[in-house]
Structure formats: C-alpha cells, structure tokens
Amino acid sequence: MSVVKVPDAGGDELKLLEVDGHLYPPSSVDVIRGIRDLPIRDDDVFVCAYPKCGTHWVWEMARLLLSSDIEAVIEKDELMLEFIGNDVIEKFPSPRILNTHCLVEQLPRGVFEKKCKIIYIIRNPKDMAVSFYHHHKKLPFYEYNGKWENYFPLLMDGKVDFGSFFTYLKDWAAVGTTHPELPTLTLVYEDLKEDPLPGIRKLAKFLNCEKSEEYYLKVKELTSFKKMKAAKGTIIQATDGASVMYRKGEVGDWKNHFTVAQNELFDRTYKEKMAGCDMKFRYTV
C-alpha cells in the first residue's frame, strides 16, 4: 500500500495509489479501505462506470430526477467513494446518489444486503481511452505529462487507476449473474448522445420517480454538455484553467488520436481479452 509512479513507454510517470493490489487515483488509503464498510441506507442509489464513461452526466440526470432542489450546484465528486470519507458521506441527506469506479465485489457490503439500485454506464472504450488520457494529463495530482503514443500501451495493460478496462467491463457485464439481487439499469453514453430523452425516462422509471414530459425536457436541457460545463466546469480545473470533467463530450474523438496501427492493435486485443463477453459498442453516432 503506497504511492506508486507508473512509467509509460516514454518514461513519463503517472502518480497513483496502490492499495491491496489495486490501483487508485492518489487519494487516501483509509478512504479506499473504508469503502467496504460504508453504512448503506435502503434508498441509496449508485452510479457505477469505468472512468470517463459519463459518470458526471448521468449522476446529474439522476440528481435532477430525485432532488427537490434543482437549482443546487452539487458535483458528483462530493459523493465519490474513492475520495470522500465515510464520516462525510454519512452526513449527506437521503436520497444519496453515490458513485464509484470500483469493481462489483469492491462495493460497500451493505449494497448487497440492502439491494441498492445501481445505474451502470458504458461508453465505447476508444473514446473512453482518449478521455482518460486527457484526464490523466490535466488533473495535477497525477503529475503526468506523457504523450498519447506512450500512454496508449499503459492503458491497454491496465496500469492506470481502477486497472484494466477489460477486467472492469467483464466484471460488470456479469453482474446480473453474479448478483441477481441487485436491480441494475445500464445506460449507454452513445445512446444518450443520440437522444437523452429515452434514457432520462428509463432512469426516472427505474428510480421510481416518474415525472412529466415537460420535466424530462428540463432535465435534458440542464444536463446538456454546454449547460453542465457552464455550471460546473470550473469546479475541477487543470493548471491551465481548462475544465477536466467537461472536455468535448463527443462520440468519435478517438479518430483524432488513434493511429491505424493503434486501432488495429486495440481491435485485436479487445477480441482476445473480451472473448466470450458479448458487448457491442457504437464508435460513431
């Protein structure tokens, strides 16, 4: 358990935290170790995803659907298990929309006992990869300044916080079998980009808080990339002032980064690592 500096293919280092054999962002060991023991309430809701798959976006949709104060500016990071200690989370009023990038078995024990609702988000992993690269470069605590071509092998090898996305995707794809007791709604980033309204309606139904079409349109408007960036884009900033969590919000930015060789390697590795796991992603909308 310690701070580790993971070198990329060019020698630039990514600063991470290793706790019990797993890699995390540089947070606190006590906070990470405390996750399993967080006291869980019946009405806690969880938003789960591998990093950069749209957690902030969907968290905000859920907040607007469940909240009585739609004007409040709260960021999902205030309820992120990997960064916020249990003592702070315990003070939050219900319903709490907790969020995490951890694997299924790393969720708080109480989630399984209370059968909490889980909103799980997936995004095509090529756009996720590009987004994660910018995330690592922009967030000062990673102290990372590597080039995309040197970062790419690091991500493919899972030497990043939360580990291999192949492992993560397979773990969560099986949640219906490994934990059939957990009510889970899967939302797809690209589907939400194409049209957020069906996703917002599904989410409201799943959370048992159905509202008028007019309200759903309001949620769509307030959770547009532009509105969210304007409202919250300065909460987490890069050293140059750029917004870390609201970068481009597009489908297909991977085409501006992946070389032909990287794309081929990605497709080959994906096929090999995800054999037997039937997931289809949309790389364009």
**Distance of closest approach, residue 241 Cβ to ligand A3P, in angstroms:** 16
Tell me the closest approach of the beta carbon of residue 113 to ligand A3P, in angstroms.
27
Identify which of residues 205 and 248 has a Cβ nearer to ligand A3P in the complex: 248
Residue 111, burial from CB neighbour count under 10 angstroms (0-12, 13-18, 19+): buried
Rounded to 5, what percent of the chain is helix, strand, coil? Answer: 45, 15, 40
For the bound state, the minimum distance from the C-beta of residue 235 to ligand A3P, rounded and expressed in Å, comes to 12
Long-range contacts of residues 216-221, Cβ cutoff 8 Å, at least 24 apart: 218/64, 218/70, 219/61, 219/64, 219/65, 220/196
Nearer to ligand A3P, 52 or 63 (CB): 52
Is residue 102 within 8 Å of 27, Cβ to Cβ? Answer: no
Question: CB 228 → ligand A3P: shortest distance, Å?
Answer: 4
Peptide bond connecting 95 to the previous residue in cis, omega within 30 degrees of 0 = yes
Taking the CA atoms of residue 94, residue 109, residue 199 and residue 285 in that order, the dihedral angle to the nearest 10 degrees is 140
Q: What are phi and psi of 24, to 5 degrees?
A: -135, 165
Closer residue to ligand A3P, CB minimum distance, 41 or 282: 282
Choice between 51 and 110, CB closer to ligand A3P:
51
Least separation, in Å, of the C-beta of 249 and ligand A3P?
Answer: 3
86 pairs with which residues across the strands? Answer: none
The residues of the shown chain that bind ligand A3P, judged by CB under 6 A, are: 49, 51-57, 127, 131, 134, 223-225, 228, 245-249, 253
Closest approach of ligand A3P to the CB of residue 59, in Å:
8
In degrees and rounded to multiples of 5, residue 100 shows phi and psi of: -160, 155
Residue 134 bears catalytic tag: no
- Annotated active-site residue in 56, 101, 134, 135: 101
Instruction: Report the residue number, 27 or 223, with the smaller CB distance to ligand A3P.
Output: 223
Give the tokens for residue 245: 């969590």
* Helical H segments across the chain, by residue range: 29-34, 55-66, 86-89, 109-114, 125-138, 148-156, 165-173, 175-178, 189-194, 196-206, 213-222, 225-232, 260-273
The 8-class DSSP code of residue 78 comes to G
- When the beta carbons of 43 and 191 are compared against ligand A3P, the nearer one is 191
Catalytic residues: 101
